[in-house]
Amino acid sequence: MAKQAPRPIHGRVVALTGGARGIGRATARALAAAGARVAIGDLDSELARRTAAEIGGDCFAAHLDVTDRDSFARFLEAAEDRLGAVDVLVNNAGIMPLGPFHEESDETAIRQVDINLHGVITGTKLALHRMRPRGAGHVVNLASYAGKVAPPGGATYIACKHAVVGLTASVAYETRDDGIDCTVVMPGVVNTELAAGLPQSRGVKWVEPEDVADAIVEAIRRPRLEVYVPRELGPLWRVGVLLPRRAQEWLARATKGDRILADADFSRRSAYESRAARSEPSLSPDADAAGDVQRPPDSAGAPAPAGVETSA
């Protein structure tokens, strides 16, 4: 089979959610460097504007709350008014509260589903409404390697990421004859603020936000359904699922992969949690970055950990 010719990125319009910092910021930079015209959507409008100004060129920023359909529609409309028809949507915004499942508040669970899953569903639908009539487009959804495995310590987050993986595959089948590509990107542990306090585990290679950004750019150039970062996670998962359940559990314990979320050091996440605590959209329309949300207080009244990015 002939190797697929790369598709040009120069001049294409890319709308990116949660683009003010972390993976989103690195992706906006990489896309702009490749010649794309980038629209950054983020709950933290001011930081998003600063990011866009630093990147320069055809890059601009607009307020976006991915949990609000009207906000998402306005963001895409602004992108098209400013840059032209959206060729690619990158659903990047997400949160990752950690802790024992039985201690998680209902509000925290609902908030995760609203951002990590419903936000992706809403953005994908709105993008498809624009792309299908043109017979072209690409939706890139940021999930996580956690969407293929199930370590303890973040059960609702894990459930959302599994759902995004399945959603992307199903939509890819629905749109395969419409000229629209769908990609799900599944990073392992990414060296962003979200990973603060996560333990190192044998056999789990940490990656930089720029590594994920480069993988997204390459996936836009050469569309494919599944993208793992680093790439060796793909073969690792395919081999792992062939093992009996007990063998899978033994391997996870041997590499400490089963403790990557459960053994997080929350004292080392305090700065991140403090910032996230100021980012509840209901408190301020310009509070903080898309995906940065305070987890409601637990039964003892102390703020519980929150996270951002779609990486762990």
Catalytic residues: 157
C-alpha span between 47 and 212 (Å, rounded): 21
Place of tokens 């400013």: 82
CB burial class (10 A; 0-12, 13-18, 19+) of residue 266?
A: middle
Contact 65/42 with Cβ under 8 angstroms?
Answer: no
C-alpha span between 188 and 234 (Å, rounded): 11
SS3 162: helix
Q: Which tokens hold the place of 236?
A: 């690792």
C-alpha span between 258 and 184 (Å, rounded): 23
Place of tokens 């940065």: 292
Q: Which tokens hold the place of 5?
A: 């010719």
Closest CA to 118 of 188, 68, 176, 152: 68
CB burial class (10 A; 0-12, 13-18, 19+) of residue 152?
A: middle
Chain-centre distance for alpha carbon 133: 27
Closest CA to 26 of 63, 51, 6, 49: 51
